[in-house]
Structures are given as structure tokens and as C-alpha cells.
Chains A and B, each alone.
Chain A
Amino acid sequence: MTTATVSRWDRFRESFFWYSFKRDKVAIASFAVLLLMVLAAIFAPLLAPTDPYDLAQINIMNSELPPVGMSGSDPAFPLGTDAQGRDLLSTILYGTRVSLMIGFGAVILQAFLGILFGLLAGYLGGKVDAILMRIADVQLSFSTLMVAIIVGAVFKASFGNLMFGEIAIYMLIFIIGVAEWPQIARTVRASVLAEKKKEYVDAAKVMGFGTRRIMFRHILPNTLSPIFVIATVQIANAIISEAALSFLGLGMPETQPSLGSLIKSGFDYIQSGSWWITLIPGLVLVVLVLVINLLGDWLRDVMNPRLYKG
């Protein structure tokens, strides 16, 4: 039994996936940067010099100090401080954490909705398909950002500022997840339509398996690679949407800032010359989104799925 000794790790190392990853410098660099940012975000409580949520550690006398290297800076605050005197490095670490949590959470929700509705529409066809895809079309024609802004506005108006601030992180996951499900549903539907004509589906039907079993156990695994590609890009989109909503004041409150609300709170002070409060979190946001998009591009080239381009 020599074949049994080939472990999953060995199989991974022999795969085309790993081979093409090793040869693509952009992919390696993007992955390294993303990994670094994710780790920094996860271990933010250990890495950050101060806790931005703890009011006792904030001194208003330290407000609007510039980053190290400019005149008037304090070495205790390497990236300077914001208008409330919070250490910018710490708020950015915690902010990246919030942005990533919302990004991943929203994509998990939209993947759930998108896979469910995409499978139903593609496999069942007929009226179910027509209704679901019409809803998706209409929602997409309004642009996902517009839908998210409207839903966010309604939630904010009905919950009130204080209440909304407390549950903002779950609200944002919900809003972005619901606003963007059509993207994934369309991709899933397109590949289900291609898969369901194949012989293994007929074989499963002949063997008497139920619709649900065929959909989730047989067809779904074969549509995973396009889902994987689009989900990667959608994480970047979700992070941008979250930042946009927070920038409009429909997202995370300033006491528990994400990258978007850091940019927003810094923007009020840009005219007084304190550019770092808004531009440093902005740079972090752009780098985060850019590396995820580059990884998405690379994944699409490697897996080469029949992506539905709407």
C-alpha cells in the first residue's frame, strides 16, 4: 500500500495550484502582505501599544500629533495620533480587524444566500429561476452600493443612532451580505446550468437520489472553484462597501472604528493640516483591497472557471 502514504500535503505540493503559485511573484507578494495584515489584525490586542476602546488610556493633550519623522512628533506614537488623542497605529490595527471581520462575515452570508438561490434557480429552473433571477437583475441594476446605502439608512432611522452603533457590526454584515448576494447567485447558477447536463447528474437521478442530495452533494462540489474566485473578489468589495457606508456615517461608530470610520473622522481635520489621520488608514485600506483583488485575479487565471460576467 504505497499509494496510501501520499499525504494531503504531498498532493497539495504536487498540484498545479501550488506550482503556479510558486512561479507568480505578484501572487506570492500579495499573499504575504495579506497574511501579514490578517495576522496583525487577529493579534491586534497583543501588538497594539494602547487599547483604543479604553478611555482611560487616552489623553486629549496628545491629540493630532504627527507621525514620527515630522516636527512635533512623539516616539510613543509612531504613526501619530487622531483628534481624540488615540494612538493611530493602535486604532488602525483594531480598525483593520473590524474591517476584515465585516468583510469575511458579509461574504459568508452572501455566499450562503448566493449558493442557495443560485442552486435553486439553476437546478429547478422554470418559475423559481425566473423569479429569483429577476430579483437579482433588478437589485444589480440598482448597484449593490445603492441598495446597501438605502437599507443602512432605513435601519439607522428605525433603530436610532445609539442602538445602531451598538449592533453596527452585525448590521453591516447583514446589509452588505443581502445587498451583494446576486453576484454569487449568478455565478453559481451559470455553472449549475453547465453541470446539470452532465452524465453524473443523470446517473445520480437514475440511482434514485433526491433533488436535495443531487444539488448539494453532487453539483455543488463541482461549482466550487468559480465560487472561490468570486468570493475572494467579493471580500474586497465588501471591505470597500463597509468603508463607504462608514464614511457616510451609516457604519461603524467612532468609538469602535473600522478603517472607513477612521478615514471619515480624519477627514474633518484635513483642512487644518493633519493629513495623517485620514490618509494613513486610507493607505492601509487601499493596500488591503489591492492585494485581495490581485489574489482574486491570480485565482481566476489558475482555476479558469467560466465566470459569469454581467
Chain B
Amino acid sequence: MLAFLVQRISQALLVMFVISVIAFAIQDGLGDPLQEMVGMSVSEEEREAIREELGLNDPMVVQYLRFAGNALQGDLGNSYFYSKPTLEVIAEHLPATLELVIGASLIIVFLSVPIGVYAAIRPQAWLSKFFMGVSTVGISIPVFLTAIVLIQLFSIGVTVNWFPSDTGWGQWLNDFFTTEGGLPSYGRGDELTHLFGTWESGFFTGTGLMHLVLPSVSLASIMLPLFIRLIRAEMMEVLQSDYIRYARAKGLSAGRINFLHALKNTMLPVITVGGVQIGIMVAYTILTETVFQWPGVGLMFLEAITRSDIPLIVAYLMVVGLIFVITNTVVDLVYGLVNPTVKLTGKKA
């Protein structure tokens, strides 16, 4: 176990090193700090002097070591646009993204487990086939398109008058397809509760929660089909195993077998896959936040790109890289802990 731990952590450190080299290369290749600091009137000699003073003429390795040293002390430079430390800017935007991810994860957990289990227990039922069909289509719909459709339906609203409104059934169908709209689709609302530090939460006010609905449903929609399929596949495999057959022969109730004995072993691989997927959700938050103008780190990153705010881009890469590396390492370690059959040295069969 100790060897496994050391191996995984050293791998994580190596990945972090590579990320920092890439981030440094981007900063070095794209940003000219001098241009941001001094005006046009400064002469070439003075520029050269400042360059020397800032250490921009030092060898690459020295410059990288300085960059890495500063990064380790939590200093990733100042944002050009916000004129304050980049990590501070990220800390201000991170809670919004986290709340979005939490909202989406809750939706995924509370929908995918019951649907997946149902589809595994009754694979032939029409409702299961319906759910599986919807999830096939769902995988083909990009997250920003789901978001746009949701905005059209529940924020703007749709009036339907395809059916003859003078008949009872026509009016009923028209009413059935007409949506009210009215759900907010822009930002987080203005009633946020201050929790601690930079965390302004939308979880505790009505408007805050209303603003959260459409973005988190959109973000959840991309992962939901995947989890339903995964839980169904795992559950069907578990239901074939000997101990389930024994439990049936013993005469245990179906509910007890399905939800106590089978579900426990189904969730093991699901949790580890889920851990990795939550890291991947960060990429989709960029798309979701763009559609809903959600003031999180994803939108901040995109704005940094359009403003050519190089230090902020670099800081975002480092922070997101760190989040990815930590989640992946923790998931690996947890998997090694709960499933002793995994090859601890990590050698491939």
C-alpha cells in the first residue's frame, strides 16, 4: 500500500511539474510584462534596464525556477484586467462554479441511481427502454444546446397554437405544450448570503436557488446519460452473481436484495468513475457558464482569453490542473483502498 501511495503521489507531482512548465511556456511566449508596465514613451535603454531588473534576460531555467518558486508560495502574478493577484480573482469566482457543480451533482445522484437501478431490474419494461432511448439521444446533444433549449422553454416561454383552439382537446394540447417561462437565465441573482471568505452563496435565498435551476440542470444533462448507462450495466452484472441468487433462494424480499445487497456492490465502480467525471465537469462548466453568464471561473477564463489577460489564463491553468490532479489521485487511492484486488503497484496486466 505504501509503495502504491508513493507511486501515485510522485506521479501527481510529475504531472503538476509538466503543467507548470506548460503554463510557464505560455506566460513566457505570450506575455510581455514590459508592455503592460510602461508606456510608449520609455526609451529602449530604459526598457533594457527594467528588463534586466525584472530578470527577463536571465536564462530560461532560472526564470522557470523563479516562476515555480513564486507559484509554490501562492504568487501567480497580478491580473492585467483586475489589477490584483490572480489567485485572489480566482478565489472570488470559484464559489459560483462550485455551487453550480454541487447543484448538478445532486441532480445526477438523485436521478441516475433510481433510473439506472430500475432499468437494470426491469430491462424489458417500456419505461426502461424509454429512459435508455432518451439517454442515447441525450449523449448526442451538446451541453450548450440543452442550455439554449431550456432557456427558450422555461425562461422565455413558448406559446403553442398548432391545434384548433375551438375544440376542447385542441385547447388542452395547446395549453399542454405552452410553457410559461420566467425562470432566470442570467447570472446568480442579487440576493447572495455571505458564508466565509470570498464565498457568497446562492443556496439560502429563493432567488439564488431559482437562478441555480437552469444552469445546474444543463450541466447535469451531459453527465446523466453516462451515469444511467453505467449504473444499469454494473447493476445487471451484479444481479447475475452467485450471492444474489443465493439471497433469492433464501427467500429475501426483492426490495432488500436489490437495494441493500446489489446496490452496495454496484456503487463501488460508480463512485470511482464519478470522481473522475466530476473533474471533467470543469470543462463543461466553461460552456454552461458562458450560456448563463454565470460569474464563475469558467466565464472568467473565457473573458481572460478575450482580454489577453495572460497571468489570469496561466493561473487558471495551474489551479484547474491542481484540481484535476488532486481528484484523480484521491480517486485512485480510494479505489485502491476499497478494492483490494486492484494491482497496487499499478503494473498493467
By a beta-carbon cutoff of 8 Å, the part of chain A in contact with chain B is 133-134, 138, 141-143, 145-146, 149-150, 153-154, 156-158, 236, 240, 243-244, 247-250, 263, 267, 270-271, 273, 275, 278-279, 282, 285-286, 289-290, 293-294, 297
Contact = CB atoms under 8 A, between A and B. Distances in A.
B313 A267 contact: no
B149 A153 contact: no
A146 B282 contact: yes
Interface in B300-316: 301-302, 305-306, 308, 310, 313
Given A248-B302, A279-B148, A293-B140, A143 B310 contact: no
B29 interface: yes
B137 A285 contact: no
A157 B305 contact: yes
B137 A154 contact: no
Given A141-B324, A244-B142, A244-B144, A249 B280 contact: no
B152 A270 contact: yes
A297 B141 CA distance: 16
A282 B148 contact: yes
B30 A286 contact: no
Given A134-B11, A141-B328, A243-B142, 18 more contacts: A138-B15, A142-B321, A142-B324, A146-B283, A149-B286, A157-B310, A158-B30, A244-B287, A249-B302, A263-B145, A267-B148, A270-B156, A278-B148, A286-B141, A290-B137, A293-B139, A293-B140, A294-B136
B217 to A, nearest CB: 17
A153 B30 contact: no
Interface string B122-166: 000000000000001101111111001101100010000000000
Contacts of B284: 145
A63 to B, nearest CB: 20
Contact of A145 (B18, B30, B283, B302): B283
B228 interface: no
Contacts of B137: 286, 290
Chain B: interface size category: 35 or more
A289 B310 contact: no
A247 B143 CA distance: 11
B15 to A, nearest CB: 6
B145 A141 contact: no
Contacts, number: 96
Contacts of A134: 11
A279 B286 contact: no
B60 to A, nearest CB: 18
Closest 9 CB pairs of A and B: A146-B283, A143-B280, A290-B140, A289-B140, A145-B283, A153-B305, A282-B145, A143-B283, A141-B328
B279 interface: yes
A285 B308 contact: no
Given A141-B324, A154-B26, A285-B145, A149 B283 contact: yes
B121 interface: no
B140 A263 contact: no
Interface centre among A134, A142, A158, by most chain B C-beta atoms within 10 angstroms, is A142
A82 to B, nearest CB: 15
A271 B184 CA distance: 12
Contacts of B30: 154, 157-158
Interface in B199-227: none
B187 to A, nearest CB: 14
Nearest to B324: A142
Contacts of A153: 301, 305, 313
A192 B313 CA distance: 40
B107 interface: no
B9 interface: no
B219 to A, nearest CB: 13
